[in-house]
Amino acid sequence: MKRLVIYLVTFLPFVYLSTRLFIFENVNDPIKYIYTITGVTATVILFFSIIISLIKEKINLMKYRKEVGLIGFFYSFLHLLNFVIFDASFDLVFILEQTLEKPFIYLGMIAFFILLFMAITSTKLLFKKYNKYHRFVYLSLILITIHWIMAQKSLNIEQIIYIIMILIIVYYKLYQYILRNNRLNI
Ligand code: HEM
């Protein structure tokens, strides 16, 4: 039941996006609109997948973490498809130029490849072997935040709140890591 609720809620942005684009056809700049909906949804879902790990001692939702992460990856994949298909019209030279020349694009690309690696290694078998690298999700979160800010060129109140939350998470993880290391060294 909870799983069904997760799927229904997380697919709402996709339904909303498709309805506006293909049924009502009332979007002025479809490419920009797809970037916004897919980018923001991917970021928010990824953020929740990290929160699930952080609160596991208090509320255990760990069995849903993988699905939530994969749905977040699905939106980031749509975001990349928007770039490759609609923005670049499959022009490989344009894609390479943009990726190498614009820092916010290559930061997005690095973040995407971290998410891709995590999605591929999320199967039971591969997760055992590669789970230690899954902590790179924190790096991906930081890169996505910078990518978002650079894409906007200015900060609004939602972004400031979001950045403060990211900083708290990153400091908390760093603090836990230092504590664990100190304990091991005693
Ligand atoms: C795969 C490589 C990526 C490319 C080529 C890319 C490209 C872009 C572009 C061109 C924009 C600017 C759109 C505009 O305002 O005109 C943008 C915005 C954005 N991207 Fe990405 N991106 C990538 C990866 C990611 C990833 C992995 C995430 C999150 C998981 C993400 C989240 C966002 C967000 C939140 C925005 C701002 C949307 C808005 O508020 O309008 N991007 N991206």
> What does the pLDDT read at residue 36?
95
Q: Can you tell me the distance from the alpha carbon of 79 to that of 82, in angstroms, rounded to the nearest whole number?
A: 5
Assign residue 123 a region (left: φ > 0; alpha: ψ between -120 and 50; beta: otherwise): beta
Q: Can you tell me the distance from the alpha carbon of 30 to that of 36, in angstroms, rounded to the nearest whole number?
A: 10
Asked if residue 83 lies in contact with residue 95, where contact means CB atoms within 8 angstroms, the answer is yes
> What does the pLDDT read at residue 128?
92
Domains of the chain: 2-185 (1.20.120)
Query: Which residue is it, tokens 């789970």?
Result: 131
User: How many angstroms does the Cα of residue 116 sit away from the middle of ligand 1?
Assistant: 15
Name the residue of 73, 78, 136, 148 to mutate for ligand 1: max ligand atoms within 8 A of Cβ: 148
Q: Among residues 121, 126, 31, 17, which one has the least CA distance to residue 82?
A: 31
Nearest atom within ligand 1 for CA of residue 75: 30
Tens digit of pLDDT at every position of the chain (186 positions): 688 999 999 999 999 999 999 999 889 999 999 999 999 999 999 999 999 988 888 899 999 999 999 999 999 999 999 999 999 999 999 999 999 999 999 999 999 999 999 999 999 999 999 999 998 998 999 899 899 888 887 788 888 888 888 888 888 877 877 887 777 665
> What does the pLDDT read at residue 159?
81
CA distances from residue 60 to 7, 8, 51, 64, 183 in whole angstroms, order as listed: 18, 20, 11, 9, 25
Nearest atom within ligand 1 for CA of residue 40: 35
CA distances from residue 166 to 108, 133, 139 in whole angstroms, order as listed: 17, 19, 11
User: How many angstroms does the Cα of residue 46 sit away from the middle of ligand 1?
Assistant: 14
User: How many angstroms does the Cα of residue 112 sit away from the middle of ligand 1?
Assistant: 10
User: How many angstroms does the Cα of residue 108 sit away from the middle of ligand 1?
Assistant: 7
With a 6 Å cutoff on the Cβ, whether 112 touches ligand 1 is: yes
Q: State which amino acid sits at residue 47.
A: F
